[in-house]
């Protein structure tokens, strides 16, 4: 039976599971009390997809919010992610169980491999088994390049439903978008507003569009993501911003306005490059207490 999300727009993944097209991310929410409060506020405002990760060290807070939000678990879509230090078959199985315990859940709606480093192939085998056992409703990846997706595709029994990547108007990864569409993988942007990039939010062409619809530039950018067919996860701990980010379903950009946003692509990342060997080594050598 397919879940209901208060009539919200959903995207159907390649395994038939529906996911809300707009969710709530908790990256960098290190204050656990603040994180729990933000998630509860988001759910009360209508968000039904919550995205966390073991490396964020806030799964416990998200779990408490799920228990205390007043919305039934079956009405929520909960995602977490496997950290690179837990790659490998047995490690991934153990890490998944610890994530469930921290979240106080008996299944996840989606579980993602966070970075394409180390033994991600054996980790994927573990995720496939957990999926087949019904403990995860959908499995996917984050930060995978076309090359790493091809490696996974050649060795996997189940293709990822989603690739969560850095994507915002400044860095649109158009080649990767095309690959996703050709392989029925949904694009899920992280940091969809460019981490609050000031120059982006002050772009005159976007301010003009925002004025037309009586919206903020951030709302115009989120609407662009949605109309591109992306599954987007903005984040904020500020109640007014959480509400603002969700209020993007009552207007529609024209194709000309969509092209204005598309034209802002610089091809330059604001964050970490999965093709950078130094970043890969740093990730493989890092360890949070998870």
Taking 80 as the threshold, does the pLDDT of residue 287 lie above it? Answer: no
Q: What SS3 class is residue 64?
A: helix
Average per-residue pLDDT for the chain: 94
Catalytic site residue 89?
Answer: no
Nearest to 143 by CA among 165, 110, 174, 117: 165
Contact 259, 252 (CB under 8 A): no
Nearest to 65 by CA among 43, 94, 80: 43
Q: CA angle, corner 127, sides to 48 and 180, nearest 5?
A: 70
Taking 90 as the threshold, does the pLDDT of residue 197 lie above it? Answer: no
What count of other Cβ atoms lies within 10 Å of the Cβ of residue 202? 10
* Residue 194: Cβ-neighbour burial (10 angstroms; 0-12, 13-18, 19+): buried
> Annotated catalytic residue: which of 5, 47, 56, 111?
56
Express as a percent the part of the chain with pLDDT over 70: 97
Q: Domains in the chain, please, with CATH?
A: 17-283 (3.20.20.100)
* Residue 27: Cβ-neighbour burial (10 angstroms; 0-12, 13-18, 19+): middle
Taking 70 as the threshold, does the pLDDT of residue 65 lie above it? Answer: yes
Q: CA angle, corner 80, sides to 100 and 33, nearest 5?
A: 80
pLDDT interval class at 4 (50, 70, 90): low
For residues 28 and 88, what is the distance between their CA atoms, to the nearest angstrom? 26
Taking 70 as the threshold, does the pLDDT of residue 43 lie above it? Answer: yes
For residues 61 and 72, what is the distance between their CA atoms, to the nearest angstrom? 17
For residues 196 and 283, what is the distance between their CA atoms, to the nearest angstrom? 25
Question: What pLDDT shows up at residue 288?
Answer: 53
Say which residues have a Cβ less than 8 Å from residue 170's Cβ, sequence separation at least 6.
194, 197, 200, 264, 265, 266, 268, 270
Q: What tens digit of pLDDT does each residue of 135-185 get?
A: 999 999 999 999 999 999 999 999 999 999 999 999 999 999 999 999 999
Query: What average pLDDT score do residues 220-237 get?
Result: 96
Query: What average pLDDT score do residues 64-85 get?
Result: 96
Q: What is the number of alpha carbons within 13 Å of residue 140 lying toward its C-beta? A: 28
Give, to the nearest 10 degrees, the angle between helix 32-45 and helix 239-246: 40
Contact 52, 26 (CB under 8 A): yes
Contact 248, 223 (CB under 8 A): yes
Taking 50 as the threshold, does the pLDDT of residue 232 lie above it? Answer: yes
Could you tell me the maximum CA-CA distance found in the chain, to the nearest angstrom? Answer: 54
State whether the Cα torsion 97-98-100-104 is positive or negative.
Answer: positive
Q: Would the pTM count as exceeding 0.85?
A: yes
Question: What pLDDT shows up at residue 280?
Answer: 86
Confirm whether residue 180 is marked as ligand binding.
no
């Amino acid at each position: 039976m397919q879940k209901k999300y208060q009539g919200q727009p959903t995207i159907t993944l390649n395994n038939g599971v529906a996911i809300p097209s707009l969710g709530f991310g908790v990256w960098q929410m290190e204050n656990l009390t603040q994180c729990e409060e933000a998630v509860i506020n988001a759910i009360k405002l209508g968000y039904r997809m919550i995205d966390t990760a073991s490396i964020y060290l806030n799964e416990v807070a998200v779990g408490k919010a799920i228990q205390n939000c007043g919305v039934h678990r079956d009405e929520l879509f909960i995602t977490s992610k496997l950290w690179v230090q837990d790659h490998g078959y047995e490690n991934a199985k153990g890490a998944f169980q610890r994530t469930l315990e921290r979240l106080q859940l008996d299944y996840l709606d989606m579980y993602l491999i966070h970075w394409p480093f180390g033994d991600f192939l054996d980790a994927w085998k573990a995720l496939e088994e957990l999926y087949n056992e019904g403990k995860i409703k959908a499995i996917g990846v984050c930060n995978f390049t076309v090359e790493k997706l091809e490696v996974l595709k050649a060795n996997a029994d189940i293709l990822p439903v989603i690739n969560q990547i850095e994507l915002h108007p400044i860095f649109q990864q158009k080649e990767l978008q095309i690959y996703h569409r050709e392989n029925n993988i949904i694009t899920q942007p992280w940091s969809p507003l460019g981490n609050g990039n000031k120059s982006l939010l002050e772009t005159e062409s976007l301010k003009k569009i925002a004025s037309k619809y009586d919206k903020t530039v951030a709302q115009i950018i989120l609407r662009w993501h949605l109309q591109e067919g992306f599954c987007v996860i903005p984040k904020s701990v500020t109640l007014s911003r959480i509400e603002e980010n969700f209020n993007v379903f009552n207007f529609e950009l024209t194709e000309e306005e969509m092209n204005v946003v598309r034209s802002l692509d610089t091809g330059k990342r604001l964050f970490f490059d999965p093709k950078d060997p130094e970043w890969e080594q740093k990730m493989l050598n890092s360890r949070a207490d998870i």
